[in-house]
Structure 1
Amino acid sequence: MEIFTPDNVSFMLGGFAKTLVISFFAIILSIVFGTVLAMVKQFCKGKLKVFSLLVSAYIELFRCTPNLLWILFIYFTVKGNDVVISVLAFTIFTSAVMAEIIRGGFNSIPKSQFEAAQSQGFGFFASMRLIILPQTFKTIIPALFSQCTTVIKDSSYLAGINVAEFMYTSKVVMAKTTGLEGVLLVYGFVFLLYFALNFGISLLIRMYQRRIAAA
């Protein structure tokens, strides 16, 4: 049986498109939520220290447990369509990783930047939005992009809960053949698309790092 028929290719590319959609929204939401977590952990002190401790517990909980565990947990406990479930599962896990990356960026900003913002009359949130966060994200872009590739690759775990992402649709097509050649062809197709996407992101990271180094 011919593997790469128009229907099979369209089916697999549809799965690839779903992978991109899930990864995109999970990454964006994880950056937003991770930024909030990082700010709370880094800057909540004194009477607000309890919030910093809660965030620290959240981060450690998800960093020390496997992503697949939370995918399965969300799948069995949350009702919704497969995209919503997938994005939620990846967001709650990846936010913990993003929070630590962003907090590392905060630590790289000299204290004089905070003091200068305060001396100019900026409040905390204005200082964050206009001065600290732009510098922080400029510093951590390589690490953020690296985590993006991890999210894209780990989206293949969703095949285990029958989400019709790229790996799942490829397995469906693969099941139509009993020959080793067909299996290898499908795996090769999966390899090429994942590699092209993630290698492209890696090239962007390298270009950015060279640009920063030359500045």
Structure 2
Amino acid sequence: MTFLEQMNELFTYNNMRFLFEGLMLSLYIAFIAIILSTFFGTILAVMRNHKNRLLRWLAGTYIEIVRNVPNILWIFVIFLIFRLRSVEAGIVSFTLFTTAALAEIIRGGLNGVNEGQIEAAESQGFSSGQILWYITLPQAFRNMLPAIISQFVTVVKDTSFLYSILALQELLGKASILMGRYTTTAQVFVLYGLLALIYFMVNFTISSFARYLAKRNKTTR
């Protein structure tokens, strides 16, 4: 079989749709995990900046423990202990891990808000909750949005762990199934190259958008 014939056998509509389904699953897991992590990370960031020592300790303990244990271990723990289905286990484990990372990013954004604005709000009779909701959080999210979106890149790449651990058929899982069907060296190398290209295109697009937002934030200040 010639190289062209091998490629024609590989690049069929069904095979490309098969890979596309895996990509959509990877993006779905990453997107849900980022949304949930942003929500819980905001809560942790507020807790870590709170005047209450217990809240600061609880938030700090969670962040330090989770951040210093590999995400792969959390995937195992969530899957084996809670007996969730693969997709749910992937979302929960990535949310658990990414929440700790985003909490520190968001806390940095909260700490970066001008103290003068907070003092001005206090002088106008704003409560702590009102200052947080109307002044601190909006500015923090505006400044930290590029970093949050960049974290999305990490989650998309890390979804590739789910195939080897949970046998989940995300992008890498789908590609691995195809590799089992096509055994010639050329087809395997082309599949690996295509997989790398898909990851690159998706993550480069996300990273470029994050850089655009960061640049726009600088020009509007």
If the length of structure 1 is used for normalisation, what is the TM-score?
A: 0.93
1:198 — aligned with what? Answer: 203
If the length of structure 2 is used for normalisation, what is the TM-score?
A: 0.91
- Of residues 210, 213, 217 in structure 2, which corresponds to 1:208? 213
Q: Aligned with 1:181: secondary structure? A: helix
CA distance in structure 1 between the partners assigned to 2:144 and 2:185 by the alignment = 43
Question: 1:1-215 counterparts in 2 under 5 A?
Answer: 2-43=9-50, 45=51, 48-160=52-164, 161-215=166-220
CA distance in structure 2 between the partners assigned to 1:102 and 1:63 by the alignment = 15
Q: Aligned with 2:10: secondary structure? A: coil
CA distance in structure 1 between the partners assigned to 2:126 and 2:185 by the alignment = 65
Per-residue deviation, residues 25-44 of structure 1 (Å, max 9, x unmatched) = 0000000000000000111x
Paired residues, number: 212
CA distance in structure 1 between the partners assigned to 2:103 and 2:61 by the alignment = 12
Percent identity between the two aligned chains: 39
Do the aligned partners of 2:78 and 2:84 also contact (CA within 8 Å) in 1? no
CA distance in structure 2 between the partners assigned to 1:88 and 1:25 by the alignment = 9
Which segments of 5 or more consecutive residues in structure 2 lack a partner in the other structure?
1-5
Give the letter for the 2:30 counterpart: S
CA distance in structure 1 between the partners assigned to 2:26 and 2:145 by the alignment = 22
Moved over 6 A (4+): none
Per-residue deviation, residues 5-61 of structure 1 (Å, max 9, x unmatched) = 222222211111111110110000000000000000111x2xx31121111011001
Give the letter for the 1:81 counterpart: R
Give the letter for the 1:175 counterpart: G
Per-residue deviation, residues 67-124 of structure 1 (Å, max 9, x unmatched) = 1110111111122332211110000100000000011111111222222222222222
Q: Which deviates more, 76-85 or 195-204?
A: 76-85
C-alpha root-mean-square deviation of aligned residues, in Å?
1.4
Which segments of 5 or more consecutive residues in structure 1 lack a partner in the other structure?
none
CA distance in structure 2 between the partners assigned to 1:142 and 1:94 by the alignment = 15
C-alpha displacement of 1:125: 2.1
CA distance in structure 1 between the partners assigned to 2:215 and 2:108 by the alignment = 21
